[in-house]
């Protein structure tokens, strides 16, 4: 199956469910509702996909990207390169992006905790679509980044910070636990057993490309499954009502927020 065909398939993907759980339902309907325009990935998404392409077969650079030295549409050369890439149906990237992504892959493969997982990657299962019906009879799909020969399941994420605490709150805000729980369900359906380990390989785009391997436990997966069901509930309610609301009426101050008085002299802080 071609990657474009996979993304057009109507079965429930973790991407759609993450959107329903973390965005307004107006955003969900705009992206995934009837008549939705084709989704255009952001530069950040393309950077992550570029690393995926280098790291996880069977993807190839020349099948997904067009690499040019100049991609600046404000120049005649850059504008022509962008038009040529669009005509070929490829995502245009700069040679500098490619060099940076290659440096990231080198760092990941040299990391003592991440490299063993990459060494055990199986081409027969990694980046291979799987379709199934969940316990509620809903058609689902997944495209796992990495499945290893010993039955581990990993997803690769680009992040602003690979520091555990910072990444955790970003991951919760973006619904990564929901995504991993969805992949966990797909793995169990495909292999008839749970993954040996579920984790996220997070890397930073900027040098020196700090990275980490974060392992989800069963409590994390359980919370992700709860969010997944909440996403389905929100979608069903909106479909029944025919209304896809935005943020609506809210108090100015978020719950649990407080404004604490400054307890130090700001002039005493050294900036470096």
- DSSP conformational letter for 36: P
Percent of the chain with pLDDT over 90: 78
Instruction: Read off the pLDDT band of 266 (50, 70, 90).
Output: very low
Q: Residue 203 in contact with residue 104, Cβ under 8 Å?
A: yes
| pLDDT average, residue stretch 117-123 | 95
Per residue in 22-79, pLDDT tens? Answer: 999 999 999 999 888 888 888 888 999 999 999 987 778 888 899 999 989 899 999 9
- Nearest alpha carbon to residue 125 among 84, 90, 166, 154: 154
- In this structure, of 47-61, 175-189, 196-210, the range with the lowest mean pLDDT score is 47-61
Domains of the chain (ranges, CATH numbers): 3-36+105-243 (3.90.320.10)
- How much of the chain, in percent, has pLDDT values that exceed 70? 94
Q: How far apart, in whole angstroms, are the C-alpha atoms of residue 104 and residue 125?
A: 23
81-115 pLDDT, tens digit per residue, is 999 999 998 999 999 999 999 999 999 999 999 99
d(CA 176, CA 47): 18
* Three-class DSSP category at 234: helix
Average pLDDT, the chain: 91
pLDDT confidence bin for 217, thresholds 50/70/90? very high
CA atoms of 79 and 93, how far apart (whole Å) = 13
pLDDT for res 147:
97
What's residue 60's pLDDT? 82
Indicate if the pLDDT at residue 264 is higher than 70: no
Query: In sequence order, which residues have a C-beta less than 8 Å from that of residue 139 and are 6 or more positions away?
Result: 10, 11, 12, 131, 132, 133
Tell which residue, 99, 88, 101, 96, has the closest CA to residue 62.
88
Q: What is the pLDDT of residue 112?
A: 97
* E strand spans, the chain: 65-68, 91-94, 130-133, 139-142, 146-147, 152-159, 197-204, 211-216
Task: Report which of residues 18 and 56 the model is more confident about.
Answer: 18
pTM confidence score = 0.88
Q: Name the band, by pLDDT with cuts 50, 70 and 90, for residue 268.
A: very low
């Amino acid at each position: 199956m071609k990657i474009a065909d996979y993304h057009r398939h109507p079965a429930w993907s973790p991407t759609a469910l993450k959107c329903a759980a973390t965005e307004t339902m107006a955003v969900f309907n705009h992206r995934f509702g009837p008549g939705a325009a084709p989704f255009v990935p952001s530069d950040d998404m393309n950077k992550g996909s570029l690393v995926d392409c280098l790291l996880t077969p069977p993807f190839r650079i020349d099948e997904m990207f067009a690499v040019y030295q100049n991609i600046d549409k404000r120049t005649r050369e850059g504008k022509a390169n962008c038009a040529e890439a669009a005509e070929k149906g490829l995502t245009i990237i700069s040679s500098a992006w490619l060099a940076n992504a290659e440096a990231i892959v080198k760092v990941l493969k040299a990391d003592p905790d991440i490299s063993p997982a990459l060494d055990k990657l199986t081409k027969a299962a990694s980046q291979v679509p799987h379709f199934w019906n969940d316990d509620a009879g809903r058609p689902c799909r997944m495209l796992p980044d990495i499945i290893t020969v010993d039955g581990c399941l990993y997803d690769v994420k680009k992040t602003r910070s690979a520091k555990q605490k910072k990444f955790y709150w970003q991951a919760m805000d973006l619904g990564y636990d929901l995504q991993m729980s969805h992949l966990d369900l797909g793995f169990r359906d495909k292999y008839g057993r749970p993954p040996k380990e579920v984790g996220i390989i997070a890397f930073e785009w900027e040098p020196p490309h700090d990275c980490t391997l974060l392992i989800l436990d069963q409590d994390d997966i359980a919370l992700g499954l709860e969010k997944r069901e909440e996403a389905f509930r929100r979608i069903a309610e909106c479909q029944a009502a025919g209304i896809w609301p935005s943020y609506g009426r809210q108090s100015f101050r978020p719950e649990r927020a407080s404004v604490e008085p400054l307890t130090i002299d700001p002039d005493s802080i050294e900036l470096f």
